[in-house]
Amino acid sequence: MSTTTPAVTTAESEAMGRALDLAAQGVRGANPLVGAVVLSGDGALLGEGHHRGAGTPHAEPAALADVRRRGGDPRGATVVVTLEPCNHTGRTGPCSEALIDAGVARVVYAAADVNGPAAGGAQRLRGAGVDCVGGLDADRSRRLNARWAAALAGARPFVTLKSAQSLDGRVAAVDGTSQWITGPQARADGHRIRSLADAVLVGTGTLLADDPRLTPRGAPAATPTPGKGLRVVMGRTAVPEDAAIRGPGFLHLPTRDVREVLDELFGRGVRHLLVEGGPRVASAFLREGVVDELFSYVAPLILGDGAPAFPDLGVGTLEAAARWALDDAGGPGIQQLGPDVRMHLRPPSTGP
C-alpha cells in the first residue's frame, strides 16, 4: 500500500482519530482491535462503535446499529474504520456485506487486513459501487494490533497468560494449597477473561492439584465447535478418568514443547489461547517469548516460602529482567477488584 496520505476530508481525519480511540477500548485476543465512526454527507456524526471481543458484533455493524438507535439512516453515509472491513463469515457475517446492505456511499479505512481469509473487503466494496479509500493513519492502526498481527503471521494463537499470586509472588503455600489466593471479584474477572478465549490451558500439575473444569463460571462444558470451547491439559502425566475437565471439548496434549502445543491448537482453529498455569507451564510460555498479554492478579497476603509464580526463567541479573508495560486496552492497566489488584500488561518492545 502507498504510504502517501489519501485524499480525505478534515471531518474524516478527525473521525479516524475517534475511531482509533474507540478501538483501544476493545478486548485483545482472537480478533484485532477495531473502531468505526459513521458520518453524514456534510461530516456530522451519525453513530460509532467498536469491537468488544470474540463473538460480539464487529465495529462496522456496531456503528451502523448505533446510527439506527439514534434514529438515523446510514444510506449515503461515510464509514470511517480503523481496519479494512472483513470479507468472510466467522462468528459474525462479513462487514463488507453489512456496509453494502446498509447503503453507505463511502468507506475510509486505516490499515489493510492482514488476515488472509478475511481480506478483500475493500475490493468487494468497490465492486458494489462504494467509494473506498485506505491508508489513513495506517501506522497507528498497525501499532495498535501489532501483537495480533505477529501471532497471525507466526501461525499461532494469540496467547493470554493469567496468574493469581500473593504480594511476594507465590501461587501456592508450602503445603500446596492455592484456592483461593484472590477474592471473589478477582475470580469473577478471571472467568470473564476465560469466556473470551477459544481455548484454556493448564499443566498436569494444576490439574492434579485443583481438578479444575476450566469453564467460565455458570457455564456448562459446551459442545465445542472447531477452534472454540477447548479445555486443554499440557503434560505427559495421565489425566484421571474422573477428572472434572473431561467431557466434550477436553484435549490432552502429552508434550512439554510449547511450540508443538501452539502448532496443534492453531491447526485445530484456535486463535486465542488462555494459559492459566501452573507455574512451570507459565514459565515455559514466557521463556518461549509467545505471551502476548499478561493478567496478573495480586492479593494482599504474604506466603513466604511456597511455589513462585514464574520459576526458572533464566534471569540472572536485574538488568536481564524483562520489563513489562501496562496495557489499557479493554479497561485500565491497573484495577482494584475487591481487596485484590489486577494488572493488565504487555510484553517489552511491543506496541500499544
Tens-level pLDDT at each residue, the chain (352 residues)? 444 557 899 999 999 999 999 999 888 887 889 999 999 999 999 999 999 877 789 999 999 999 999 999 999 999 999 999 998 776 677 999 999 999 999 999 999 988 776 678 999 999 999 999 999 999 999 999 988 888 988 999 999 999 999 999 998 888 877 778 899 999 999 988 888 899 999 988 888 877 788 887 654 444 566 667 899 999 999 888 998 889 888 899 999 799 999 999 999 999 999 999 789 999 999 999 999 999 999 999 999 888 888 998 888 888 888 899 999 887 889 999 999 999 999 998 766 6
Give the other-Cβ count within 10 Å of 14's Cβ. Answer: 16
C-alpha triplet 261, 262, 266: angle, nearest 5°: 120
Environment class of residue 274 by beta-carbon count within 10 Å: exposed (0-12), middle (13-18) or buried (19+)? buried
Block residue for cell numbers 502507498:
2
Instruction: Name every residue whose Cβ is closer than 8 Å to that of residue 130 and which is 6 or more positions away in sequence.
Output: 99, 100, 104, 105, 106, 107
Integer Cα distance of 129 and 144 in angstroms: 30
Alpha-carbon span 105 to 74, nearest angstrom: 9
C-alpha cell of residue 345: 500488561
pLDDT in tens, 135-184: 999 999 999 998 888 898 899 999 999 999 999 999 888 887 777 889 99
Neighbours of 154 (CB within 10 A): 12
Which residues are annotated binding-site positions for Zn(2+)?
58, 86, 95
**Could you say which of 60, 84, 97, 293 is catalytic?**
60
How many angstroms separate the CA atoms of 325 and 69, rounded? 38
Closest to 102 in 3D by CA, of 134, 78, 69, 81: 78
Global pTM?
0.86
CATH fold of 10-144 = Cytidine Deaminase; domain 2 (3.40.140)
E strands, the chain, where? 35-39, 45-50, 78-83, 106-111, 131-134, 158-165, 170-173, 199-203, 230-234, 250-253, 272-277, 293-298, 306-308, 325-326, 334-337, 340-346
Q: Is residue 260 annotated as a catalytic residue, yes or no?
A: no
Q: According to CATH, what is the number of the domain 154-346?
A: 3.40.430.10
Q: Which residues contact 274 (CB under 8 A, 6 or more apart)?
A: 160, 161, 162, 193, 194, 196, 197, 199, 200, 201
Choose among 254, 283, 182, 89: nearest CA to 97. 89
Annotated binding site for substrate: 178, 194, 206, 214, 217, 276
Is the dihedral angle over the CA atoms 270, 274, 276, 279 positive or is it negative? positive
Domain ranges for the chain, please list them. 10-144, 154-346
SS3 173: strand
Binding-site residue positions: 58, 86, 95, 164, 178, 180, 194, 206, 210, 214, 217, 276, 278-284
